[in-house]
Amino acid sequence: MCTESALPGAPRVRQRGLSLIELIIFMVIVSVGVVGLVSVIASLTRGSADPMVRKQMMAIAESVLREAADQPFTYCDPADVNAATASSTAQCTGGAAASQDKGGGALSTPSPTNETRYNAPQFNNVADYGGFSKLNIDDITGNFAMAGYTASVAVARAGGDFGLADAGAALRVTVTVSHAGQDDYSLSTYRFRYAPRAF
């Protein structure tokens, strides 16, 4: 509030202070700035755990991929009586259709079909992992479940990728891990049948 002197010879005093309109505009500008700053900080804070989740996805994918790739890649199932002597998939018990190559069929189930990752009889060949998928993935003993993480394994013949006459002489193993709110993470490796009777 400002007052002016009514005396004719008194010096004029300049008005000082802010008007109500100027004060409201200032408050609006400061409020918009604070809201913008808080929203940026909130999004950074909300995303701060994402690197840990992504790193966990990478570790799970690497672990399952290594587990699958470390299995024997033989003509026959290692439990087959002919596994140590077979020189082709046709010499497996039950012929090529019962071999680890499934006679050229899809590699989406273990052979024999009663094998699992967790219970006896367990997966014992690279191709057995084809089609495996597990929500809340855990280790091979069934312990240490990772809540919210899903791992799935795809196995495909890849001999043609390397110009090999036998497409089944190499396999491409791909492990995909997913978690809510994240992009899927995939790792792939190739496994060659360099020792078809070693298990």
- Kindly state the tokens that stand for 36: 């913008």
Residue type, 105: G
Domain boundaries, the chain: 50-192
Residue type, 161: D
Residue 118 per-residue DSSP state: S
- pLDDT tens column, 47-58: 666 788 889 999
Mean pLDDT of the chain: 86
Question: Do 132 and 140 form a contact (C-beta atoms < 8 A)?
Answer: no
Query: What pTM value is reported for the model?
Result: 0.72
Using CA atoms, how far residue 110 sits from 77, 129, 155, in Å, is 10, 7, 11
Average pLDDT over residues 147-173: 92
pLDDT of amino acid 154 = 95
pLDDT at residue 124 greater than cutoff 70: yes
| 3-state DSSP helix/strand/coil % of the chain, to nearest 5 | 35, 15, 50
